[in-house]
């Protein structure tokens, strides 16, 4: 996609065009796979830590650790143990727990250690020769994490909805509440590099007020598109907090590669926004690319 193509679209801030193409019919196998809603890393930051702890069956206690170690998680012989050093303020201890649960959800390692600089180290196995690998299976037993959000501030406002309904709500948020433009990337801009999922810029209306401009690929699976729309909505709200410069035309390119949410920030805001509007999000940390050339090297994510 040439940069000039997106620049030309940037100058057109009229009504949204119809979406390109139609949503493919879902096969029974797809519907069955999507019926599972496992824990994801962002849940370690969105759920109350006590709810997450109870869901995982984690036992937490305080104990002096070796050297500079501040916290330790061990999954071994059917138990999930989480240890923090004594005397920590409540908020500091909660942050350590969330960091450990994040890494556990991402990797499922048998032992995870955090030091005072919050560096993470892993020990893959605690088993002796001849013993069964102690890697814990309790993550796979939580097949519908949506139940853990009942009554929370991140429960859906209008119940769980289809991807298309959540995309429409996100587009309305950008156009109505943020006075922006929310479009599918136009057909004439294709073929696109596989690594590009969306493009975002900030224009100005006739009064000089900032106006976010968002375009998302229409040829991606609906789940991935929903999360990309959520990330773009979060990005235009917090664009002053990103450390990537736009290209010479003021355009940020959002990669289509999914990454786990590892803490507070735009990606977490994207995940909880998507969920608040009715869809269980996937991994919502998408890379920001400064040019289309950079996108050529980024593989397209799965749904």
Write out pLDDT tens, residues 162-181.
999 999 999 999 999 999 99
Residue 298 has a pLDDT of 43
Binning pLDDT at 50, 70 and 90, where does residue 32 land?
A: very low
- Asked if pLDDT for residue 268 goes beyond 70, the answer is yes
Residue 125 has a pLDDT of 56
Binning pLDDT at 50, 70 and 90, where does residue 29 land?
A: very low
- Asked if pLDDT for residue 19 goes beyond 90, the answer is no
Name the residue among 138, 156, 149 with its Cα closest to residue 81: 138
Identify the bridge partners of residue 59 per DSSP, sorted by sequence position: 81
**Across residues 98-106, what is the average pLDDT?**
95
3-state secondary structure 174-203: HHHHCCCEEEECCHHHCCCCCCEEEEEEEE
- On whether the CB atoms of residues 158 and 56 are closer than 8 A, the answer is no
In whole angstroms, give the CA distance from residue 263 to residue 285. 10
- Asked if pLDDT for residue 255 goes beyond 80, the answer is yes
Distant-in-sequence, close-in-space partners of 75: CB < 8 Å, separation ≥ 6: 81, 104, 108, 109, 110, 111, 134, 135, 136, 138
pTM of the model: 0.82
Binning pLDDT at 50, 70 and 90, where does residue 188 land?
A: confident
Tokens found for residue 52 = 């997450």
Domain residue ranges of the chain, discontinuous segments joined by +? 3-36+154-295, 43-142
- On whether the CB atoms of residues 212 and 173 are closer than 8 A, the answer is no
């Amino acid at each position: 996609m040439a940069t000039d193509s997106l620049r030309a679209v940037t100058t057109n801030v009229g009504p949204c065009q119809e979406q390109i193409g139609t949503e493919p019919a879902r096969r029974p196998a797809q519907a069955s796979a999507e019926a599972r809603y496992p824990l994801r890393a962002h849940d370690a930051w969105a759920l109350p830590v006590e709810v997450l702890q109870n869901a995982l069956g984690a036992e937490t206690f305080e104990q002096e650790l070796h050297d500079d170690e501040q916290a330790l998680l061990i999954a071994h012989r059917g138990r999930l143990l989480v240890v923090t050093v004594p005397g920590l303020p409540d908020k500091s201890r909660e942050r350590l727990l969330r960091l450990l649960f994040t890494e556990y959800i991402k990797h499922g390692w048998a032992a995870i250690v955090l030091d005072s600089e919050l560096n993470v180290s892993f020990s893959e196995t605690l088993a002796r020769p001849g013993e069964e690998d102690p890697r814990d299976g309790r993550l796979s037993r939580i097949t519908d994490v949506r139940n853990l959000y009942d009554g929370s501030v991140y429960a859906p406002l209008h119940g769980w909805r289809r991807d298309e309904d959540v995309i429409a709500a996100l587009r309305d948020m950008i156009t109505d509440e943020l006075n922006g433009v929310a479009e599918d990337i136009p057909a004439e801009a294709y073929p696109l590099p596989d690594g590009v999922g969306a493009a975002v810029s900030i224009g100005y209306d006739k009064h000089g007020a900032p106006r976010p401009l968002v375009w998302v690929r229409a040829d991606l699976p609906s789940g991935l598109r929903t999360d990309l729309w959520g990330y773009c909505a979060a990005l235009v709200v917090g664009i002053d907090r990103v450390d990537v410069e736009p290209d010479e035309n003021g355009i940020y390119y959002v990669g289509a590669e999914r990454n786990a949410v590892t803490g507070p920030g735009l990606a977490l805001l994207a995940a909880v926004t998507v969920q608040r509007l009715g869809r269980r999000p996937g991994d919502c940390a998408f890379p920001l690319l400064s040019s289309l050339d950079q996108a050529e090297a980024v593989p397209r994510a799965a749904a």
